[in-house]
């Protein structure tokens, strides 16, 4: 009887969740995974850069970026479509076997493209070997993304979290051992692929025996139906691949391997600084799909909460990153990476506009307006590619970073414009403007505080901690004052 009650409590908690509980559950598991994985990746890349040096690190990131340039062929834009279709209609989960079979073919096509075009990318056979090797890393991860989409649709974020932690832990352990005892860029690639392979084997077995009995099904009609939904996201994936990897590939193509190492080193700093925003995006998207069909009022509330949380995190990160760029690079790497200071500041601006675009692009996806996202990305990616082609030969990594900033700025402006066309909202709703004012004022006061000499005497780690605490304190005081006027900026 006692076990039955426990089971009932679990059922109540996981199957009948309120809007806040759904977000908290999703955020907890994804947050746990992203926090652990972000820390592991960050320390691993720092260790790689320190052990191998900027030039060898540049070769590794060039090979990985070149393989990633063709990643859209394997992913085919199906991830978000699977999450949407499976979460809105559970009967469609039986399609997963056919989609798994389709992924086998798409991964094979992906490898053929990488192999063929690698001969045009570099005359160095060792780098070509590394490109071919790292393409298998992406193949295994593309299979895992299919399982993650299924878990997302069922809102079983704990399965995805455990799988990602397992993969990154294995890669971290294998890579650290390799760098300590057999340091070479190719052996590093082997360690990456081996960790991803073991994770793929484990998750596949778990999925087959505990979640859904996979089988090989070649249903061409079903593939056509999903591709009809996904083709805008497929093209979007192509554009995303170019947007994310073209700058690094171009730096490598011009034999700027050391500059490529500097550039990718500071990109890792920017990525980990906005880690919570990616967690929020992954957590809110399934809940947005759920409440879009159930309640337009709740849908708008949850979207405004998403927008507020994103801006609350990213704006102080932007100001703090620009102000503390030299100290951050010195702390994470060493003074030999100082040529990347200006690039780091441009990348903080780029990631700011990239992150605040998330709530708006998610709206378009929920409204089944993938074609608009495609158009937006097409325009911004063309701008990014053209700017990189013209600026990188003259300004190296600084040209690449400036190109990212301008392209993401354009992306934000376009995605905001199209969101306004299909989703009726005003920034004056849900106390957003008072919230925005509080974040901006608190952030600038934080910069004023950490710029004082008595604060700058501390290590940059403590400066960041003191700044974050001061920001939270000022914003909390601001929110308390608003409540005196019966305004709650985080009401849901």
**pLDDT tens digit string along 314-356?**
999 999 999 999 999 988 888 888 999 999 999 999 999 999 9
Across residues 36-46, what is the average pLDDT? 83
Domains contained in the chain, number: 1
Please give the structure tokens belonging to residue 211.
């979640």
Which tokens belong to 28? Answer: 């907890």
DSSP 371-437: HHHHHHHHHHHHHHHHHHHHHHHHHHHHHHHHHHHHHHHHHHHHHHHHHHHHS---TTGGGHHHHHH
Residue 20 has pLDDT above 60, yes or no: no
- Cα separation, 170 vs 173, in Å, equals 5
- pLDDT given at position 334: 80
Q: Is residue 249 part of a domain?
A: yes
| pLDDT tier, 14 (very low <50, low <70, confident <90, very high otherwise) | very low
Mean pLDDT, range 126-137, rounded to an integer: 93
Query: Rounded to an integer, what distance in angstroms lies between the CA atom of residue 301 and that of residue 492?
Result: 6
Residue 451 lies in a domain: no
The mean pLDDT of the chain is 84
Q: Is residue 12 part of a domain?
A: no
Arithmetic mean of pLDDT, 133-155: 86
Question: Residue 233: pLDDT above 50?
Answer: yes
Give me the domain span that covers residue 346. Answer: 18-425
Tokens of 253: 């193509």
Residue 481 included in any domain: no
Q: Which residues contact 37 (CB under 8 A, 6 or more apart)?
A: 164, 165, 168
Structural domain includes residue 7: no
Q: Which residue has the tokens 């009948």?
A: 16
What digits encode the pLDDT tens for the residues 421-470? Answer: 888 888 888 788 889 999 999 999 999 999 999 999 999 999 999 999 99
Give residue-wise pLDDT tens across range 373-427.
878 888 998 999 999 999 999 999 999 999 999 999 999 999 999 999 888 888 8
- Residue 488 counted as domain residue: no
489 found inside a domain:
no
Non-local CB neighbours of 57 within 8 Å, separated by 6+ positions? 48, 49, 261, 264, 265
Q: Is residue 474 part of a domain?
A: no
| pLDDT score recorded for residue 2 | 39
At 24 the pLDDT is 61
The helix-helix angle for 125-153 and 19-68 (nearest 10°) equals: 160
């Amino acid at each position: 009887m006692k076990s039955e009650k426990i089971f009932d409590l679990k059922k109540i908690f996981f199957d009948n969740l309120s809007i806040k509980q759904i977000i908290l559950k999703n955020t907890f598991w994804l947050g746990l995974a992203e926090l652990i994985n972000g820390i592991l990746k960050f320390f691993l890349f720092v260790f790689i850069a320190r052990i191998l040096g900027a030039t060898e690190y540049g070769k590794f990131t060039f090979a990985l970026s070149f393989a990633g340039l063709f990643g859209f062929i394997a992913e085919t834009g199906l991830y978000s479509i699977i999450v949407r279709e499976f979460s809105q209609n559970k009967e469609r989960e039986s399609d997963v076997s056919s989609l798994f079979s389709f992924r086998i073919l798409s991964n094979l096509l992906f490898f053929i493209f990488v192999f063929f075009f690698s001969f045009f990318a570099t005359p160095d056979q060792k780098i070509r070997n590394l490109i071919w090797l790292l393409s298998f890393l992406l193949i295994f991860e593309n299979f895992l993304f299919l399982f993650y989409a299924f878990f997302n649709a069922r809102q079983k974020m704990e399965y995805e979290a455990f799988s990602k932690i397992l993969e990154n832990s294995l890669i971290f352990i294998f890579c650290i051992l390799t760098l300590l005892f057999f340091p070479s860029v190719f052996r590093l690639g082997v360690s990456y692929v081996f960790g991803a392979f073991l994770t793929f084997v484990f998750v596949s077995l778990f999925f087959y025996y505990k979640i859904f009995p996979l089988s090989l099904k070649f249903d061409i009609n079903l593939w056509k139906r999903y591709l009809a939904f996904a083709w805008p996201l497929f093209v979007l994936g192509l554009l995303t691949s170019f947007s994310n990897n073209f700058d690094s590939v171009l730096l490598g193509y011009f034999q700027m391997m050391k500059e490529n190492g500097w550039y990718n080193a500071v990109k890792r700093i920017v990525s980990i600084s906005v880690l919570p925003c990616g967690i929020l995006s992954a957590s809110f998207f399934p809940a947005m799909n759920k409440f879009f069909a159930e309640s337009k009022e709740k849908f708008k509330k949850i979207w405004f909460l998403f927008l507020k949380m994103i801006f609350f995190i990213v704006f102080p990160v932007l100001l703090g990153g620009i102000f503390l760029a030299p100290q951050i690079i010195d702390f994470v790497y060493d003074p030999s990476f100082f040529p990347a200071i200006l690039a780091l500041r441009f990348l903080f601006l780029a990631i700011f506009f990239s992150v605040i675009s998330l709530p708006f692009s998610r709206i378009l996806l929920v409204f089944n307006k993938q074609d608009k996202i495609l158009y937006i990305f097409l325009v911004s990616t063309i701008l990014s590619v053209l700017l990189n082609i013209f600026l990188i030969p003259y300004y190296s990594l600084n040209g690449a970073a400036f190109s990212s900033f301008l392209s993401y700025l354009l992306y934000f402006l376009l995605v905001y414009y199209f969101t306004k066309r299909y989703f009726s909202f005003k920034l004056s709703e849900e106390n957003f403007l008072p919230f925005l004012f509080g974040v901006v004022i608190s952030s600038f006061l934080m910069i004023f505080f950490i710029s004082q000499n008595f604060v700058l005497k501390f290590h940059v780690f403590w400066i960041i901690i003191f700044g974050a605490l001061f920001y939270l304190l000022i914003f909390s005081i601001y929110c308390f004052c608003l409540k005196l006027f019966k305004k709650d900026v985080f009401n849901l």
